Amino acid sequence: MKTELSSEARVAIVGAGMAGARCGARLREAGMAVWVVDKARGPGGRLATRRARFVDAQGEERAVAWDHGCPGFEAQDARLQAWLHTQAALGRATLWQPQPGPNEGPATAPPPARWRGTASQPSLCHALLEGAATQWQTTVQALRRDGAAWWLDTNGTSLGPFSAVVLALPPAQAAPLLAPHRLDWARAAALVPMQPCWTWMGVSQAQAAWGDGDWWAPADGPLELVVRQTHRLDGPSAQGLDAWVAHARPGWSREQLESPPEAVAEALQAAVARVLGHPVVWQHSLVHRWRYAQPVLPPAERWGGARWDAHARLGQCGDFLAGHGVDAAWRSGEAVAERIVSQALEPLPPSGRAAGARTERAPLRTP
């Protein structure tokens, strides 16, 4: 069944992490309409916040949240910095100065300040996509051309028509979608080495021993980062508790990639306790596996931060094309959007629509 969207839905963006969200925002700034599709329940990608409820040692139900994908990020791009300061003025973003844990040593310099969403990490991507047409929990299985139009084949439905498509996905997920249309891009994407990351999330009884410390960067062992995130324990849930996020090193994560989550959680919880250097009374814990956390190396090819085929009206963006992390993802999403804007896409001709197709208006969702 084909789901024919409004004629205003001109550009489809598959993936709603920072790269896809920035691409969509820039296109909307230029007066273009976008339709954003993602397999998750909302935007963010690795700018993710996990929420849970648990019963503490006293039998009380508590709520907790963890920024388990990216506890905070640096912003080097001037336009990203300006946008974040605007969001901060609106109460949507916060500049956070991490404080090394007390057992890191008195000479340990604080790491650079980092940004995070005030309500959650995905709230930053929600802000970028405000007013855009969105569709969540939708996996795109194939891209298909029908005359001048693009269609997205999903679970039993085809979304379209679109004048252009941008893939803002991890390279391994983008490769099979690109292969029928740009085999060279698909091959290049398939060869991008991506590092995995097992992430542990936990709740403990609060201890004065931590002081103001909220950042531990172990020199060795399975963990590369431990962050205290008690700011995500709001109201009564914060009383007497601390929330923690720990990222395992890429090598350890690769070795344990297919290990049972229960075994990974046990190993990482013990590792966190060793890093903190004090006995810890845990109340709750769980793990999440990021199979495609970040590229191993900066891009070897000079793509200008993104790929755009002006003839096919097909694009690709993501941090792996521009460097590492949120800053690179922002630059990549903006780069592909600028190329689309400069092309001044024409409306689809009537022949671009599938004649006689059963049509249905897909529900529009806005953040």
* Alpha-carbon radius of gyration of the chain: 22
Percentage of the chain modeled with pLDDT above 90: 71
Q: What is the pLDDT of residue 351?
A: 47
In the predicted model, is pLDDT for residue 61 greater than 70?
Answer: yes
What span, in angstroms and rounded, lies between the C-alpha atoms of 290 and 274?
23
Taking the CB of residue 354, how many other CB atoms lie within 10 A of it? 17
What span, in angstroms and rounded, lies between the C-alpha atoms of 327 and 323?
8
What span, in angstroms and rounded, lies between the C-alpha atoms of 16 and 23?
9
Identify whether 161 is preceded by a cis peptide bond (ω within 30 of 0).
yes
The answer to whether the CB of 124 falls within 8 A of the CB of 117 is yes
The answer to whether the CB of 226 falls within 8 A of the CB of 246 is yes
Exposed (0-12), middle (13-18) or buried (19+): which is 247, by Cβ within 10 Å? buried
Amino acid identity of residue 223, one-letter, is L
Mean pLDDT of 19-41: 95
Tens of pLDDT along 82-99? 999 999 999 999 999 999
50-120+194-295 has which CATH code? 3.90.660.10
In the predicted model, is pLDDT for residue 3 greater than 70?
Answer: no
For the chain, what percentages of helix, strand and coil (3-state, to nearest 5) are there? 30, 30, 45
In the predicted model, is pLDDT for residue 104 greater than 70?
Answer: no
More confident residue, 313 or 344: 313
User: Would the CATH topology of 2-43+129-192+298-352 be identical to that of 50-120+194-295?
Assistant: no
Helices then strands, counting H and E runs in the chain, come out as 8, 19
CATH architecture of 2-43+129-192+298-352: 3-Layer(bba) Sandwich (3.50)
Domain boundaries, the chain: 2-43+129-192+298-352, 50-120+194-295
Tens of pLDDT along 326-348? 999 999 999 999 999 998 777 77
